[in-house]
Amino acid sequence: MARFAFMPRLARWHIWLGWLVGVPIVLWLASGLFMTLRPIGEVRGEHLRRALPEAPLVIAGSALAAPEARLKELRLVMQQGRAVAILTGLDGSIRRVDAASGAALPPLDAAAARALVAERIVGGDKVVRVTAYAADKAPFDFRRPLAVWQVRLADGTNVYVGRETGEIEAVRTRWWRAFDLAWGLHIMDLSGREDTSHPVLIGFAALALGSALIGCVLMFRRRRARPGPGTR
């Protein structure tokens, strides 16, 4: 009997909590529905950019950025105590050269990738395995067309080292991978986990918003008193 006597009190708590969180839930669902109506690329104005032919990066008097090099980007970094130029071509190719001499540097091997992670990542000396991935077969938690070493640490972290860049390109902890899965579920896109505007998501967002609005309207409904003993 005590259990059943507690139910009306629980119902009253539910009503008061409904008043408390009803408005934020409606705003949350309404704003979420609004954000799904247009692809993120359109929101960012990417469709307004005119497609122009890319001009090569040319620096007068530089052997590295000569016209025939057909560079898209030149980036200078320090690696192992020396200045290194990371050159990205218009064709997407990447290579490293010594910035001072222009001498080509070889791609990183597994030992160099392991040493880099040990130097730059906390716990990076506890390596479980090192695996090479081609640019067209990147792991799902990396999702970039870049040749990398996957350095797996004892705590489950994956550190991705560019084989051509010689740089740490991404760090994926177990929490990141769980977050990535949750994000895919949130936007209902488990395949690419990037599409925030598709019919399934829009439809369910609209249904959820409609359900929340109906719930808010029903909060104004008077609860009929239960008939007492002896009444009909």
pLDDT per residue of the chain (232 residues) written in tens, 0 to 9 = 555 667 778 877 877 887 788 888 999 999 999 999 999 999 999 999 999 889 999 999 998 999 999 999 999 999 999 999 999 999 999 999 999 999 999 999 999 999 999 999 999 999 999 999 999 999 999 999 999 999 999 999 999 999 999 999 999 999 999 999 999 999 999 999 999 999 999 999 999 999 989 888 887 775 554 555 555 5
The H or E element spanning position 53 is: none
Residue 142 in tokens: 């990396």
Q: Which residue has the tokens 């067209």?
A: 136
∠ CA(57), CA(58), CA(64), 5° rounding? 95
The H or E element spanning position 81 is: none
Spatial separation of the C-alpha atoms in residues 16 and 170, rounded to whole Å: 46
Long-range contacts of 101-104 (CB under 8 A, 24+ apart): 102/63, 102/64
Amino acid at 94: I
According to the model, what pLDDT value does residue 23 have? 85
Spatial separation of the C-alpha atoms in residues 4 and 7, rounded to whole Å: 5
Are 18 and 11 spatial neighbours (Cβ–Cβ below 8 Å)?
Answer: no
Spatial separation of the C-alpha atoms in residues 117 and 168, rounded to whole Å: 8
141: phi then psi, degrees, rounded to nearest 5: -85, 0
Residue 60 in tokens: 């007068």
What's the predicted TM-score (pTM) here?
A: 0.84
According to the model, what pLDDT value does residue 215 have? 84
∠ CA(10), CA(13), CA(18), 5° rounding? 125
According to the model, what pLDDT value does residue 225 have? 45
Are 148 and 171 spatial neighbours (Cβ–Cβ below 8 Å)?
Answer: no
Non-local CB neighbours of 87 within 8 Å, separated by 6+ positions = 64, 69, 71, 73, 74, 94, 95, 96, 97
